[in-house]
Amino acid sequence: MTEVKREVFGQMPREEGGGVVEKFVLKSDSVKVEILSLGCIIAALEMKDRDGEFSDVVLGFDTLEGYTGKHPYFGAVVGRVANRIAKGRFTVDGKEYQLFLNNGPNSLHGGAKGFDKVLWSPEILPDGVCFYRLSPDGEEGYPGDLKVWVTYTLSGGELAINYRAQTSKTTPINLTNHAYFNLAGQGSQDIYDHEISIEADSYLPVDDTNIPTGEVATVQGTSFDLRQPVVLGKHLQKFRLDGFDHNFCLQQAQARRLVGRAHHPPTGRAMEVHTTQPGIQFYTANFLDGSLKGKGAVTYPKHSAFCLETQNWPDAVNKPQFPNTLLRPGEEYNHTTWFVFSTA
């Protein structure tokens, strides 16, 4: 059985429209997860190690002020379009749209005030919580009134996140959760002793602004071949990599499938990622620099977490050969990702 509790987490600043931010605590015998009504943020996720000791394995903040300040999307649902859109421009049905540029020459994770920075309306479920919001036509430059539902449910060691959306005008949409994980426990200095594997035969090479070039490249014989588990630190050294921030191309199926795994041998903690999405962005927190103080006043240096963000391919709205990212009136966007936490 999953226990669901709600409590007040804080009050939004007046200039942000005020409003109460709630925290929802979902608890099973092996996992406890805390989710905020601001940005549908996973603020904490505690899981057992092989000795039965609980640790929080996601980065974040103890107070609301951390989340209302500038931070790299810790734990948040990002949208309307996660990842990057080249030059913040796209054309739908012959009309060109221009978005705010917030990542060099590109638009990233929904723009200046994306889904991560707004309050959602919560509804408690027997085993979780469903968040709803209406993103109005023209918000951040995107067309159409977009109704969005994000539902978190916990069953034993499995956390499911379902994303649904409906629109009044054709719009690009790509939703993901941007949780930063460290299975040694948040605040641990790096993730070099983690074993990572990703079930992908190809990946997307990017230009110097992190926009895919359009090529779909094989992972065979490259540093991107993660089909067998690699120890992350040794792998980065071997290939002289600064880290990963790349989309891995998954088997194109709408069905649930296992797409990635992380394992931390010292604690025995393991996490599987299953999804219906066509891609997964593997990011090794290359832009963390120790300047942010997180939970328990710890700092978060570079490579102190990893993200496995299930999503559509970056800049798909401008690349017709990529999986379709347009949602049309009368259709429903519906994707689910499952994180399965265990000890081995």
pLDDT in tens, 32-89: 999 999 999 999 999 999 999 999 999 999 999 999 999 999 999 999 999 999 999 9
245 appears as a binding residue in the annotation = yes
Supply φ then ψ for residue 7, to 5 degrees.
Answer: -150, 165
pLDDT interval class at 325 (50, 70, 90): very high
Cross-strand pairs, 154? 159
**Structure tokens, 151:** 């539902």
Contact 303, 198 (CB under 8 A): no
Cα–Cα distance between 10 and 27 in angstroms, integer?
Answer: 21
Q: How crowded is the C-beta side of 228, counted as CA atoms within 13 Å?
A: 4
Asked whether residue 11 carries a pLDDT value surpassing 90, the answer given is yes
- Catalytic annotation, pick one of 22, 46, 195, 309: 309
For residue 75, what pLDDT is reported?
98
Q: Which residues contact 227 (CB under 8 A, 6 or more apart)?
A: 197, 198, 199, 200, 201, 219
**Structure tokens, 297:** 């006043």
Which whole number is the average pLDDT over 130-153? 98
Q: Which residues contact 295 (CB under 8 A, 6 or more apart)?
A: 44, 56, 59, 60, 61, 62, 186, 187
84 appears as a binding residue in the annotation = yes
Strands 31-36 and 89-92: unpaired
Asked whether residue 344 carries a pLDDT value surpassing 90, the answer given is no
Q: Give the number of other CB atoms < 10 A from CB of residue 147.
A: 15
Cα–Cα distance between 335 and 160 in angstroms, integer?
Answer: 10
For residue 197, what pLDDT is reported?
98
Cα–Cα distance between 280 and 287 in angstroms, integer?
Answer: 19
Asked whether residue 319 carries a pLDDT value surpassing 90, the answer given is yes
**Predicted confidence (pLDDT) per residue in 204-256, tens digit:** 999 999 999 999 999 999 999 999 999 999 999 999 999 999 999 999 888 99
**What percentage of the chain's residues is helix, strand, coil (to nearest 5)?**
10, 45, 50
- Catalytic annotation, pick one of 178, 263, 303, 335: 178
pLDDT interval class at 2 (50, 70, 90): very high
pTM: 0.98
247 appears as a binding residue in the annotation = no
Contact 88, 107 (CB under 8 A): yes
Which whole number is the average pLDDT over 15-37? 96
Contact 130, 153 (CB under 8 A): no
Asked if 3 is an active-site residue, the reply is no
Which whole number is the average pLDDT over 84-106? 96
Percentage of residues in the chain having pLDDT higher than 90: 98
Which whole number is the average pLDDT over 260-264? 98
Supply φ then ψ for residue 131, to 5 degrees.
Answer: -110, 140
Q: How crowded is the C-beta side of 214, counted as CA atoms within 13 Å?
A: 6
For residue 117, what pLDDT is reported?
96
Asked if 178 is an active-site residue, the reply is yes
Which whole number is the average pLDDT over 158-179? 98
**Structure tokens, 303:** 């490579």
For all residues of the chain together, what is the average pLDDT?
Answer: 97
| Helices marked H in 188-246 | 232-238
Q: How far is residue 61 CA from its own chain's centroid?
A: 17
CA dihedral 5, 82, 135, 123 (to 10 degrees): -10
80 appears as a binding residue in the annotation = no
Asked whether residue 116 carries a pLDDT value surpassing 90, the answer given is yes
Q: Which residues contact 320 (CB under 8 A, 6 or more apart)?
A: none
Q: How crowded is the C-beta side of 250, counted as CA atoms within 13 Å?
A: 28
Asked whether residue 16 carries a pLDDT value surpassing 90, the answer given is no
Going by C-alpha positions, the residue among 109, 164, 141, 111 that lies closest to residue 281 is 109
Q: Where residue 205 sits, what CATH number does that domain have? A: 2.70.98.10
For residue 17, what pLDDT is reported?
86
For residue 132, what pLDDT is reported?
98
Q: Can you give 35-100 as a three-state secondary structure string?
A: EECECCCEEEEEEECCCCCEEECECCCCCHHHHHCCCCCCCCEECCECCEEHHHEEEECCEEEECC
For residue 111, what pLDDT is reported?
94
**Predicted confidence (pLDDT) per residue in 290-302, tens digit:** 999 999 999 999 9
86 appears as a binding residue in the annotation = no
Residue 81 domain boundaries: 3-343
Rg of the chain in Å (alpha carbons): 19
Number of domains observed in the structure of the chain: 1
